[in-house]
């Protein structure tokens, strides 16, 4: 199955973009020759909209590896084939691979979920949002469908109270170890087809996904906070929630009621449709982040009163 190595270590063409991709790439590069890297183009970042390279591009250029940043892979087949890769390894790249590239060398994707669950663009966030206890990485052979290829191996980790960035780093480490194991044993592995009947799909995250209201259950707001802490963050009509904790999962309260404050910590507990959350830092539009208690004092709101809806 697949091609034999053309060099003692094997030649890998890598495709990836964020920190998750770097973690996988670093581990693969310890054992295999990285002949070229494909990553997303530089994007404007921050208020000043500075063009910023992906973490994978920074890694590749610092090590003298050829890096390419096309907006589409159509017409890239000839150039990719010229590197004579034994494998194409993909980890959160962001572009669909056309058939001509899939046929150059065995294409192996390190997908950030336990397939066939969460095929698509936001597997890590989706596992947090749905309150899953476990998540992981699946190594799979790529085909033209969306994350539908036969599986080559898995690695698991408990979610607990972790955030998306924490899980992304952890899954990147696990994905790198899994990638090396799969590449080294590729000829022996018997691919396992996915059961489409068990498949679920996750969409691309949008800014609107960060909108929350105290009419939601506290646990839902907590999950969104952890899932979207990096982007798009979470926000009420009044403020962005910069730092928070889940205070109580159940309990019946008036949504938006200020239940108690902690003067030493500068925090306050707010009731939700079910349960309550502790708000530590918030940020009103156009303002700097402040302790929640400072925000309440600015509005002259006290314990027992209701936060306005807008």
Decide if pLDDT at 302 tops 50.
Answer: yes
- Domain end, chosen from 159, 174, 202, is at 202
Same domain, residue pair 149 and 294: no
309 within some domain: no
Among 25-29, 141-145, 180-184, 197-201, the minimum mean pLDDT is found in 141-145
Domain holding 182, by residue range, is 11-202
| pTM of structure | 0.92
Return the exposure string of 149-187: e unless at least 16 CB atoms fall within 10 Å of the residue's CB, then b: bebbbbbeeebeebbbeebbebbbbbbbbbbbbbbeebe
Q: Write the pLDDT tens digit of every residue in 86-107.
A: 999 999 998 999 999 999 999 9
pLDDT at 48: 83
In a domain, 252, yes or no: yes
Secondary structure E strands in the chain? 11-16, 33-38, 43-45, 50-52, 67-68, 87-91, 107-111, 119-120, 134-141, 151-158, 201-202, 234-235, 240-248, 258-262, 267-271, 276-283, 290-291
Convert the pLDDT of each residue in 192-244 to its tens digit: 999 999 999 999 999 999 999 999 999 999 999 999 999 999 999 999 999 99
pLDDT digits (tens, 9 = 90+) for 145-170: 889 999 999 999 999 999 999 999 99
* Domain harbouring 267, CATH code: 3.10.25.10
C-alpha 274/C-alpha 260 separation (Å) is 16
Q: Which distant-in-sequence residues (6+ apart) come within 8 Å of 92 by Cβ?
A: 16, 17, 18, 20, 21, 112
Given pLDDT bands bounded at 50, 70 and 90, which one contains residue 8? low
So what's the pLDDT on residue 45?
84
In CATH, what number is assigned to the domain containing residue 138?
A: 3.40.50.170
Are residues 253 and 151 both part of a single domain?
no
Last residue of a domain, one of 174, 202, 230: 202
Same-domain status, 90 and 216: no
Work out the average pLDDT over 265-290.
98
Count of structural domains, the chain: 2
């Amino acid at each position: 199955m697949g091609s034999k190595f053309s060099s003692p270590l094997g030649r890998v063409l890598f495709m990836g973009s964020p920190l998750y991709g770097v973690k996988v790439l670093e581990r693969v590069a310890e054992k295999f020759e990285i002949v070229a890297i494909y990553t997303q183009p530089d994007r404007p970042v921050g208020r000043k909209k500075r063009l910023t390279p992906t973490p994978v591009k920074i890694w590749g250029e610092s090590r003298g590896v050829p890096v390419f940043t096309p907006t589409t892979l159509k017409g890239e087949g000839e150039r990719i084939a010229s590197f004579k890769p034994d494998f194409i390894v993909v980890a959160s790249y962001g572009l669909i691979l056309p058939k001509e590239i899939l046929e150059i060398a065995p294409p192996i994707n390190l997908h950030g979920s336990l397939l066939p669950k969460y095929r698509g663009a936001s597997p890590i966030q989706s596992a947090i949002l749905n309150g899953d206890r476990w998540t992981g990485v699946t190594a799979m052979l790529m085909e033209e469908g969306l994350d539908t290829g036969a599986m080559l191996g898995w690695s698991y980790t408990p979610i607990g109270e972790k955030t998306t960035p924490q899980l992304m780093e952890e899954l990147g480490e696990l994905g790198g170890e899994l990638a090396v194991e799969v590449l080294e044993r590729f000829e022996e592995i018997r691919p396992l087809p996915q059961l489409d009947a068990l498949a679920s799909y996750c969409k691309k995250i949008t800014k609107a996904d960060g909108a929350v209201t105290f009419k939601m259950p506290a646990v839902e707001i907590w999950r969104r906070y952890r899932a979207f802490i990096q982007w798009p963050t979470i926000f009420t009509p009044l403020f962005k929630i910069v730092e928070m904790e889940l205070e109580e999962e159940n309990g019946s309260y008036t949504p938006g009621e200020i239940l108690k404050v902690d003067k030493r910590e500068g925090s306050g507990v707010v009731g939700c449709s079910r349960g309550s959350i502790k708000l530590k830092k918030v940020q009103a539009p156009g303002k700097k982040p402040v302790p929640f208690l400072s925000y309440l004092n600015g509005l002259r709101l006290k314990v027992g009163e209701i936060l306005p809806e807008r």
